[in-house]
Structure 1
Amino acid sequence: MYRKEIEEFIEAHRQEMLDDICTLCRINSEKMPYKEGMPYGQGAFTALAEALSMAEAYGFSITNYDNYVGTADLNDKERQLDILAHLDVVPAGEGWKETEPFEPVVKGDKLFGRGTADDKGPAVAALYAMRAVKELGVPLKKNARLILGTDEECGSSDIAHYYAIEKEAPMTFSPDGSYPVVNTEKGSLNGHFTASFAPSEALPKLVSVEAGLKVNVVPGKARAVVQGIDVEVMEKAAEAVTGETGIRFEFEVEEDFATITAIGEGAHASKPEEGNNALTGLLVLIQRLPFAACEQISTIGRLLELIPHGDTSGKALGIAMSDDISGDLTLAFSLLTISDSELDGTFDSRCPICATKENVLDVAKAKMAEKGFTLLNDSMRPPHHVDGDSEFISTLLRTYEEYTGRKGECIAIGGGTYVHELKNGVAFGAAMPETDNRMHGADEFAVIEELIVSAKMFAQVIIDLCS
């Protein structure tokens, strides 16, 4: 019902919707230092104020939750559906060619600019879906609420603030991913561990190791400083390790010291098998070099026994597992520093639905303790799953199929979304499965037709679930 009316309304307001997206995308709303009354700084505050002003101008009842979150309500009835979007963005970064980051521009079938896809474009699409339902006068028995957050990119403390005040709606979707429906998100364990050992001045020796940028990134490069080894010896060992692992090595020599750079292939920690970990490759080389015997080197050897190069499933750590819904557990060794007396590392594990504290965290902690490492974690983030056979999911999939002509299905991901902590929350849109919006990168874009059809689908979902 109402598909023809929805289609006509959104098409008639196409340019206005794009203009509103551009208005929000001109605001740099990356997280900034706290100011009084502005928990995430001036940019997020300004974007939220602008978006709420838009919603109010279109006749919606708005509420501002201490400048953490803003909401727009379709009516004053009992809440049935929440649409959870966000207005904050990641920093602009470098390398933009199509436009300046905060100067959105249409080129061909795309709208370029920071936030066009993640997540201001989808947020405005949801607002126009609510406009369509409201201005078409569709009778509803229950309420739909648009929730606009401002800290999704840096920890979602905004939503924690909101849900400390408000209850979760019976159904929630976030247009901050891709279609069809993401109803399963793996849990995670960011395993932070340490070890200490007696310093040794015996030569040759390993001076230091520095590897990794962020816990959720497979290192594409890793560096070590060594003392007292001839470069010819290092190059010969490196040639063998390269043949075994595919990791390349570069050497910079200055007097008795050498800096070794391991070069692999970076990847997101949720898909570590797509990369080639330079950190573990570097540790393999270190084990092949003729260092003087010491506790530091033997500790590294035991660490490689726990997380060997190429083991992206946690098999050696004793936590490999899989289920039919969410797939395999993955593990990425992402951060490591080593000095003459201590070691500090972190691995990122994405854990399927079958994962628990007992079969992942406790097992990893015990296994590491056997080898002389202290795993500091006391908890892990549980997996998230919403029943794919529910009326809610069925409605989303049916709408997707009707409006796109594509097959609707539930998918599982290794990452987490804005709805991970919500009992009945899923990600729905706003990009088609094959579209790479360059989220978080240079030249981020949204495909205009994808935003338009998203607005139509969101309107249909509101009508079907709230009437």
Structure 2
Amino acid sequence: MRKYREEIEKYIDDHRDEMVEDIIRLCSINSQRSEYVEGAPFGEGPKRALTLALNLAEKYGFEITNYDNYVGAVDLNDREKGLDILAHLDVVPEGEGWSVTAPFEPKEIDGKIYGRGTSDDKGPAVAALFALRAVRDLGIPVKKNTRLVLGTDEECGSSCIQYYYKKEQEAPMTFSPDGEFPVVNIEKGRLQGEFSAALEDGGDKRLVSIEAGTKVNVVPPKAKAVIEGFDIDEVEEKAKAVAEETGIKFSFDLVPVFEITALGANAHASTPDSGNNAITGLLELLCRLEFSPSKKIETIKKLYKLMPHGDTSGENLGIAVEDERSGALTLAFSILNLKNNIMHGFFDCRIPVSGDGEKILKTVSEKFKGIDIEFLEDTVVKPHEVDGNSPFVKTLLSIYEDYTGLKGECLAMGGGTYVHDIENGVAFGAVFPGTDTKMHGADEFVVIDELVAAAKIFAQAIVELCE
């Protein structure tokens, strides 16, 4: 039996209902990033979530620090740095297809809490806070400080944490409960490509506009296009065939314009196979319609050929690569807008550790140049890796094994977390093997028993890493 395990387990179990209540309160806040206002760098929603989280920590007796509403910090004690736990309070957009509850009306149903942010990452953030409470309230002696760092812009580039580390030094060890158990010690590299083109139009049967996607790191569940000069019958016939082949659902509105809506399923861009991309489904249909000849349609068809529906590995772009340590490259066509004959779009590419980011960037740039589309991105985020045999990682794996009875091993993931640029940082939970929490999708949830277990594991980690 690990030292203090019985006390930790009893404490967390005794505070289970309180933890659920705090998660529901926090997830009731729509903390998507919005426009800057004075005192709220990422909008009012993220600020409200941060204020509530810090108020909860202060109510529980912790010393808190607010870094200009970019980041908040909760300290276990005032001793030297030992461990940082990085979590975030911002969320992705609601998306389509919610059925259990509204995104920001979280509900506890059959041992789960449903709502946007329950899994990513407000639930795990609260679990980490209760882990701090357990260690402090139980009077467990630790020689170093553990600091819970709560950011508000992880989903849109992590500028909050960059701001924080301009003011603070990294702790010797860092984990983020924004991934999966056991330990994620490898995060793929990332290329978020942006492109644009001015397209010449012409003819009676024309493509007027496209509006699709909201975030670069989200597989889009909805895409819309406005067309002219078509009869509904010829469009419906083509759409039926595309729907049967792709699983994309189409609907039509003929007033005041002929608008096509494609519905797929959203997913995190690092796991595009778990969604159904509405952009590529819509483009498949548009490419089958008999438009009047134009440079616009010609270019759209060439673009679609580079990123067709179902190609989530970059095969058609010529950038597919994979390895045993981190898996295959992934590609998600995530945003596309066409208005006034100006096309603007984004895609998200996650690169395994064996991938040559600069070579991939060059290949993509040349492919887009070859179809007269300007490629605007010139930055590749390199993969991140921490030694799986380090004492830090081995301690985390050992605790996980003892608390769960499951094998502890290091994992690689395509999603990027706060620790991507932290020298000795890994993702540690809070999702357990075999559980799909629908993160970034409709009906996102967290299993309460699993989050309670995560809080116990986090508390034990604090004790053993800082004792």
With the shorter chain as reference, the TM-score category is 0.7 to 0.9
Task: Name the Cα RMSD after superposition.
Answer: 3.7
CA distance change for structure 1 residues 389 and 372 in 2, over 3 Å: closer, same or farther?
Answer: same
Alpha-carbon distance between aligned partners in 2 of 1:420 and 1:348, rounded to the nearest angstrom = 16
In the other structure, the counterpart of 1:142 is 144
* 8 Å Cα contact 1:38-1:45 kept in structure 2: yes
In the other structure, the counterpart of 1:269 is 269
Alpha-carbon distance between aligned partners in 1 of 2:250 and 2:21, rounded to the nearest angstrom = 50
CA distance change for structure 1 residues 450 and 194 in 2, over 3 Å: closer, same or farther?
Answer: same
In the other structure, the counterpart of 1:379 is 379
Describe how 1:13-412 pairs up with structure 2 within 5 A: 13-18=15-20, 20-21=22-23, 24=26, 31=33, 34=36, 36-40=38-42, 44-45=46-47, 47-56=49-58, 58-89=60-91, 107-111=109-113, 115-200=117-202, 202-229=203-230, 234=235, 259-262=259-262, 266-338=266-338, 341-412=341-412
Q: Deviations over 1:428-458 (max 9, x none)?
A: 2223233344556676544332232222211
**CA positional deviation for 1:115:** 4.9
**CA positional deviation for 1:461:** 0.9
Single out whichever of 70-79 and 53-62 deviates more from structure 2: 53-62
Alpha-carbon distance between aligned partners in 1 of 2:105 and 2:286, rounded to the nearest angstrom = 48
Alpha-carbon distance between aligned partners in 2 of 1:347 and 1:240, rounded to the nearest angstrom = 26
SS of 1:419's equivalent?
helix
Residue correspondences, number: 465
CA distance change for structure 1 residues 130 and 359 in 2, over 3 Å: closer, same or farther?
Answer: same
Q: Deviations over 1:128-150 (max 9, x none)?
A: 32233334443333322222223
* 8 Å Cα contact 1:270-1:350 kept in structure 2: yes
Alpha-carbon distance between aligned partners in 2 of 1:178 and 1:336, rounded to the nearest angstrom = 31
Alpha-carbon distance between aligned partners in 1 of 2:6 and 2:299, rounded to the nearest angstrom = 68
Alpha-carbon distance between aligned partners in 2 of 1:309 and 1:89, rounded to the nearest angstrom = 27
Single out whichever of 404-413 and 158-167 deviates more from structure 2: 404-413
1:180 partner letter: P
CA distance change for structure 1 residues 258 and 442 in 2, over 3 Å: closer, same or farther?
Answer: closer
**CA positional deviation for 1:399:** 0.7
Alpha-carbon distance between aligned partners in 2 of 1:155 and 1:195, rounded to the nearest angstrom = 25
Single out whichever of 21-30 and 91-100 deviates more from structure 2: 91-100
1:466 partner letter: C
Structure with greater Cα Rg:
1
**CA positional deviation for 1:224:** 4.0
**CA positional deviation for 1:422:** 1.9
Please report the TM-score for the alignment, with normalisation by the length of structure 2. Answer: 0.83
Single out whichever of 30-39 and 291-300 deviates more from structure 2: 30-39
* 8 Å Cα contact 2:267-2:440 kept in structure 1: no
Instruction: List runs of 5+ in structure 2 lacking aligned partners.
Output: none
Alpha-carbon distance between aligned partners in 1 of 2:413 and 2:137, rounded to the nearest angstrom = 36
Instruction: List runs of 5+ in structure 1 lacking aligned partners.
Output: none
SS of 2:66's equivalent?
strand
SS of 1:450's equivalent?
helix
Q: Deviations over 1:100-123 (max 9, x none)?
A: 877766555345566554434433
Alpha-carbon distance between aligned partners in 1 of 2:25 and 2:265, rounded to the nearest angstrom = 38
1:308 partner letter: P
1:139 partner letter: P
